[in-house]
Chain A
Amino acid sequence: MFKNKTARQNAITYGIILAAMAVMLPMQMGGHLSSSLSGLLVPFCYYAILAVSLNLTVGILGELSLGHAGFMCVGAFTSAFFTKFTADIIANSYVRFFLGLLIGIAFSALIGFLIGIPVLRLKGDYLAIVTLAFGEIIKNLVNVLYIGKDSRGVHFSMKDSISLHLEPEGTVIVAGPQGITGIDRTSSFLIGGILLLAAVFIVLRLIQSRDGRAIMSIRDNRIAAESIGINVTKYKLLAFTVSAALAGMGGVLYAHNLATLTATSKNFGFNMSVMILVYVVLGGIGNIRGSVIAPVVLNLLLDYVLRKLQMLGSNPVLQFMSDNRMLIYAIVLIVIMIMTWSPKMIARREALFNRGRKEE
């Protein structure tokens, strides 16, 4: 009976994604969606993937990573580099995308693993601030990275594109702060939906396995977990690496939804890490389904619905909301945290709940 309950919960989560795809895909293909809504579909997918992957770290492992955008950045840049590099070698853009996806995931997993080895010796505030540091370092490194290719091979520089000493017909692929231009916009809602399903599948299955139990036991009580022989370092690293790999997957989807990929503090900096955190908190820490729904609802409300309402008539409140998105995010974050985690609030809610039950 217990197993069936979990299975039912999971089926609902997959069902929501599949239903959204079943409704939106035909509408998009038939041209029944406005371009603004249509343009939001892929972002929904990568935000949801990122939120699901961060929730694995925050909700399941119980540690806060503030450098999640860094792993997204690794996935985005390695895959976009690959797809651009092989543009004249592999003709089919979907084949290139798929290979780029694997490369993006592999690299972000690798970076996550390497960073995880030292970082996971820490916990709590220290772990959060060090992941933030790593995220910023990744972003900084990408901004000074120049890679070009010509008939002699691949050239690197940390200075500028002239230092690559390319032959006249050579091309610069990664141009420091200018990033990568001319990326195939292969990402689509279909691909995004499939990747989201894959991310949710992996995380849910992981949680319900022996490994997931070990990860959550560390979250709930590290000392007790050690006392029953659970290898704390190994399982923390496992969760962190999978989380980084999935963030990289989100990054691949993100990169191939743009023509030009640059690493700024908006997209791969601390801001992005916080935005993903807002989704995780809004959807519920540890609640995977919530992480799928929250980014969609929040973006739909703040981007789409708000704009529609404004078209009907200008309203200062609506105008304020659409101009100050991040302000709203901040308030949402604070209010939800206090409502759901404050011991007093929890006690008050339970008292209310119990009274409600008695009256029945």
Chain B
Amino acid sequence: MSFLNYLIGGISLGSVYAIIALGYTMVYGIAKMLNFAHGDVIMIGAFTVFIATTQAGIHPLAAILLAMVICTVMGILIERIAYRPLRGAASPLAVLITAIGVSYLLQNLALLWFGSNAKSFKSVVTIPPLRLAGGALIISGETIVTIIACIVIMIGLTTFINKTKPGQAMLAVSEDQGAARLMGINVNGIIALTFAIGSALAAIAGVLLCSSYPSLDPYTGSMPGIKAFVAAVFGGIGSIPGAMIGGILLGVIEIFGRAYISAQMADAIVFAVLIVVLLVRPTGLLGKKIQEKV
């Protein structure tokens, strides 16, 4: 039964990666940039919930909403202040380096505000664990909520993009910014909206992540952030189902690697996956092939 336990643990972790990966993949697809700071927005979201529930005594659900609002505002501000000025810069490295700077800034601001000591995050999930096969297989409440949240978000996001006007505008911008602008779409507004949605999702991911893995410090979001980007690349950057599949596969690979190969090498295994994917199929599982125009 331990195999099944690992599998479920992997799917649970993978669902968190998937939610984070959605933020990466949307921003990458629409703004054509790697938002390195995305992982740190997760950490800010988790800290917001932590402070709100422990110090202000706010109900966890209200705290999550608050975290979503704060992360959304933060995402929009980051885009406006740090990334938008660099749109159209001579080198594509410019915005990437700036994003790394923003990631560092968020980490160090958190260090300043919250200190470097890891906080013990109290799970927001109150659902009792599910016991199967006479108690041999236990599925925690956190796992159940995480997986359900992941499915709901995926369906919601797909509907939003396919059925609503802003969603269609997002698709148009991701296809061709210039053409979208000529069609009267407010490209800057759509990019800001993308950051807003991605950041709100990051807040949810942060809460789910810390509910399952309760240690919270300023660097909490950094590694899961990078791994979620790996997941987004794995699934095919720009593809929403790709982010889901990539996230879950990566979570399973990580937990299996930790259990069956080496706990210390788990991160290395995840990165090895990235390297193999990019070399064998750079567009990921569900990505589109892009040819450079001459």
Binding site for B on A (CB under 8 A): 58, 62-64, 66, 118, 121-122, 124-126, 128-130, 132-134, 136-137, 140-141, 143-144, 158, 223, 270, 274, 277, 281, 285, 324, 326-327, 329-331, 333-334, 337-338, 341-345
Binary interface encoding of chain B residues 269-280 relative to chain A, with 1 for a CB under 8 A from any of its CBs, else 0: 001101100110
The reply on B130 being an interface residue by CB < 8 A is: no
CA distance A58 to B87 in the complex (A): 19
Q: Which of B92-147 contact A (CB under 8 A)?
A: 92-94, 96-98, 100-102, 104-105, 107-109, 111-112
7 pairs of A and B residues whose beta carbons are closest in the complex: A333-B101, A133-B271, A330-B104, A341-B94, A327-B108, A330-B105, A334-B101
Given A285-B91, A331-B105, 13 new contacts (CB under 8 A): A62-B91, A124-B92, A124-B93, A125-B96, A129-B34, A130-B275, A137-B272, A324-B112, A327-B105, A333-B101, A334-B82, A334-B102, A343-B87
B34 contacts A333, C-beta separation under 8 Å: no
Are B97 and A64 in contact, CB atoms less than 8 angstroms apart? yes
Name which of A140, A141, A329 has the most chain B CB atoms within 10 A of its CB. A140
Query: Which B254-294 residues sit within 8 Å CB-CB of chain A?
Result: 262, 264-265, 267-268, 271-272, 274-275, 278-279, 282, 292, 294
Most chain B CB atoms below 10 A, which of A62, A223, A329, A337: A337
Residue B16 is within 8 A (CB to CB) of chain A in the complex: no
- For A331, the chain B residues whose CB sits under 8 A away are 101, 105
CA distance A337 to B89 in the complex (A): 10
Name which residue of chain B comes closest to A66, CB basis.
Answer: B100
- B107 contacts across to A, CB distance below 8 A: 326, 330
A334 and B262 contact, CB distance less than 8 A = no
Instruction: Return the chain B residue nearest A275 by Cβ.
Output: B104
B157 within 8 A of partner (CB)? no
- A227 to B, closest residue via Cβ: B294
| Given A133-B275, A334-B98, A341 and B90 contact (CB-CB distance below 8 Å) | yes
In the complex the two chains form, what is the Cα distance from A122 to B102 in whole Å? 24
Contact A136 B97 (CB under 8 A): no
Q: Is the beta-carbon distance between A338 and B34 smaller than 8 angstroms?
A: no
List chain B positions with a Cβ less than 8 A from chain A.
Answer: 28, 33-34, 82, 85-94, 96-98, 100-102, 104-105, 107-109, 111-112, 222, 226, 229-230, 233, 262, 264-265, 267-268, 271-272, 274-275, 278-279, 282, 292, 294
> Nearest Cβ distance between residue B27 and chain A, in whole angstroms?
11
Which B residues are CB-close (under 8 A) to A345? 85
Which residue of B has the minimal Cβ distance to A132? B226
Which B residues are in CB contact (< 8 Å) with A144? 262, 264-265
Query: Which of B93, B265, B267, B275 is the one whose CB lies under 8 Å from A118?
Result: B275
Would you call B105 and A64 a contact (CB within 8 A)? no
Interface pair B92/A337, CB less than 8 Å apart: no
Specify which chain B residues have a CB less than 8 angstroms from the CB of A333 in the assembled complex: 97-98, 100-101, 104
Bound together, the chains give a CA A341 to CA B83 distance in angstroms of 11
Sample (6) of A-B pairs whose CB atoms are under 8 Å apart: A121-B282, A126-B282, A281-B97, A334-B101, A337-B98, A342-B89
Residues of A within 8 A of B33 (CB): 125
Q: Using Cβ atoms and an 8 Å threshold, which residues of chain A touch B104?
A: 274, 326-327, 329-330, 333
State whether A130 and B265 are in contact (beta carbons under 8 Å apart), knowing that A223-B292, A333-B104, A334-B102 are contacts in the complex. Answer: no
A118 CB, min distance to chain B CBs, angstroms: 5
- CA gap between A194 and B264 in the complex, in Å: 38
- Tell me whether A330 and B108 are in contact (CB under 8 A): yes
Given the known inter-chain contacts A137-B272, A140-B265, please indicate yes or no for A338 contacting B98, CB distance below 8 A. yes
Q: Are B93 and A58 interface neighbours, CB within 8 A?
A: yes
Whether A130 contacts B34 by the Cβ 8 Å rule is: no
- Give the nearest-CB partner of A133 in chain B: B271
By the criterion CB–CB under 8 Å, are B278 and A223 in contact? no
Q: Which residues of A contact B82 (CB under 8 A)?
A: 334, 338
Q: Which of chain B's residues have a CB closer than 8 A to the CB of A134?
A: 271, 275
Which A residues touch B93, using CB under 8 A?
Answer: 58, 62-64, 124, 285
Q: A344 with B85: in contact, given A337-B97, A337-B98 (CB under 8 Å)?
A: yes
Name the residue in B28, B94, B109 with the highest tally of chain A Cβ atoms < 10 Å from its Cβ: B94
- Residues of chain B within 8 A (CB-CB) of A136 are 267-268, 271
Could you tell me the distance between the alpha carbons of A250 and B92 in the complex, rounded to whole angstroms? 28
In the docked arrangement, what's the CA distance between A324 and B108, Å? 7
CA distance A324 to B218 in the complex (A): 14
Question: Given A136-B268, A331-B105, A337 and B94 touching (CB < 8 A)?
Answer: yes
A193 to chain B, nearest CB (A): 29
Whether A343 lies near B275 (C-beta < 8 A) is no
Q: How distant is B95 from chain A, measured CB to nearest CB, in Å? A: 8
Residues in A neighbouring B229, C-beta threshold 8 A? 129
In the complex, what residue of chain B is closest to A224 when comparing beta carbons? B294
A156 CA / B294 CA spacing, docked (Å): 52
Q: A118-B279, A124-B92, A137-B268 are contacts. A130–B274 as well, Cβ < 8 Å?
A: yes
Contact A121 B279 (CB under 8 A): yes
Among A62, A129, A285, the most chain B Cβ lie within 10 Å of the Cβ of A129
